[in-house]
Amino acid sequence: MIETLKQHITNRLGKLPDNVELVLPHFEELVAKKGTLLLQPGEVCKYVYFIVEGCLQVYVVDKNGNESTREFYVEEQWTTDIFGFQNQIPSSEYIRCVESCKLLRIHFTSFQQLTAAVPQFAAIYKQILEVSYNNTVYRVNTLTSLDALDRIKWLMDHKPKIMSRLSSKLIASYLGISAETLTRLKSKI
Amino acid sequence: MIETLKQHITNRLGKLPDNVELVLPHFEELVAKKGTLLLQPGEVCKYVYFIVEGCLQVYVVDKNGNESTREFYVEEQWTTDIFGFQNQIPSSEYIRCVESCKLLRIHFTSFQQLTAAVPQFAAIYKQILEVSYNNTVYRVNTLTSLDALDRIKWLMDHKPKIMSRLSSKLIASYLGISAETLTRLKSKI
DNA sequence: TTAAAGTCTTGACATATGTCAAGCGTTTTC
DNA sequence: GAAAACGCTTGACATATGTCAAGACTTTAA
């Protein structure tokens, strides 16, 4: 599992064999089965997770008990409640394994140490932050400026793997519509 | 105007008189009247704006010509198309003055220089990035998990100044509803 | 292997929100 | 100061989407 992370990091930064070896020992392997909750609202997020295999869902639950998915993360992506993690304050979101997962996680203390000590690690963090922010900006704009049918098309075009890999119920919770509406609209494409 | 920025920076970082003087000369004053477009889709964003006075709207236009506002920014806030700016690629959003504005702007070149040379400036940028990301995450979650009435209440609770300061049409475009629906729902509170 | 749980689809109906139009008051502009 | 533009509210109606229920199919777990 560590090998995947090593590859991921060197891909991003070019060859830097020295500092990679500083970083890797701080990660801990974690195998979690489908349905495992890694974080709940009110809880302080202590880890950043790197996905070696599987899929994580970040979501909230509304007053009627419906889930709204903010984002799905898959292989070679990083997941955490960034703001809650950085400030060590309670989260407002759930993080759940929607498939069996092989994960690597790094603890808050190690993370802070590394960003301070290893510039390349800080650079990766900044990169992740900027990309995450950009994705979330896109997410707001698609949610507000596209109707349900166009959001489905958007998802098929931009995240075809997510579309085919997850259940309709999960996809619907990401698109902000009911599973029934998703079924009906898909037949119109 | 520069004095406001100086105050803003020292408030954030404590006293650091030396480096502030390195930063300030890179900013340029800009007065823009209501309606001025600072950025359009397809255009590469060359500046980061600091608002001394006024209000900026970041929005997109959908296929029917309707505006969807992603965010409003007011006094002492920073506005830019972060991702497009950092990567110098075309934006997908508009940035517009919805009031007469007094702004300070810093050019891409200066910005890169300063983040590389002045750690405190890089720290402010990281802070802004994290807060912006967090706000946008909240925005996704309120859009998908709250109905229109609860989104109005959310806005009144969390951004009362925005609510009273801007037109119903603008507020509605932020909430993802029509101006008529906003009128009707407000009477239910 | 079988029971239980979950998934997808479809129908009937309910509801929230949008659209268009009109009226009226306020603000802006020449 | 008059004309034009704009902003808010309300009504009538259209439409998109949600909710609930049922049936067929598939996957999971004992």
Q: Are A31 and A105 in contact (CB under 8 A)?
A: no
Q: Domain residue spans in chain A?
A: 2-118
Interacting residues of A7 by C-beta distance below 8 A, sequence separation 6+: none
**Cα dihedral angle (B27, B30, B36, B40), rounded to 10 degrees?**
-20
- Give the Cα separation of B39 and B150 in Å (integer): 31
- C-alpha distances out from residue A158 to A73, A94, A135, A138, Å: 14, 24, 11, 11
CB contacts, 8 Å: A130 with chain B: 82-83, 86, 129
| A68 close to B (CB below 8 A) | yes
Query: What pLDDT is recorded for position B16?
Result: 59
In whole angstroms, D13 C1' to A152 CA is 29
Strand order across the A27-32 sheet: A27-32, A101-107, A47-53, A78-79
- The one-letter code for the residue type at B156 is M
Helix axes B179-186, B168-175, angle to 10 degrees: 100
**In terms of C-beta density within 10 A (0-12 exposed, 13-18 middle, 19 or more buried), how is residue A149 classed?**
middle
Paired strand residues for A71: A58
For residue range B152-166, list pLDDT tens digits in order. Answer: 999 999 999 999 899
Q: How far apart are CA B89 and CA B145, in angstroms?
A: 32
Does the beta-carbon distance from B68 to A144 stay under 8 Å?
yes
Which residues have C-beta within 8 Å of that of residue B67, sequence separation ≥ 6?
Answer: B59, B60, B61, B173
* CB-closest option in B86, B134, B145 to A83: B134
Tell me which H or E stretch contains B56. strand B56-61
Cα–Cα distance, A31 to A104 (Å, whole number): 9
CB neighbours of residue A189 within 10 Å: 8
CA A148, C1' C4: Å apart? 34
Residue B92 phi/psi, 5-degree rounding, is: -115, 5
Interface residue B70 vs chain A (CB under 8 A)? yes
- Residue B43: band (very low, low, confident or very high) from pLDDT cuts 50, 70, 90: very high
> To the nearest whole angstrom, how far is the Cα of B53 from the nearest Cα of chain A?
25
Are the CB atoms for A26 and A101 separated by under 8 Å?
A: no
Return d(Cα A77, Cα A15) in angstroms, integer.
20
Is 2.60.40.1180 the CATH classification of the domain at B2-118? no
* Contact predicate B93/B39, CB 8 Å: yes
Tens-level pLDDT at each residue, chain A (189 residues): 788 888 888 887 766 667 788 889 999 999 998 999 999 999 999 999 999 999 999 999 998 889 999 999 999 999 999 999 999 999 999 999 999 999 999 999 999 999 999 888 898 899 999 999 999 999 999 999 999 999 999 999 999 999 989 999 999 999 999 999 999 999 987
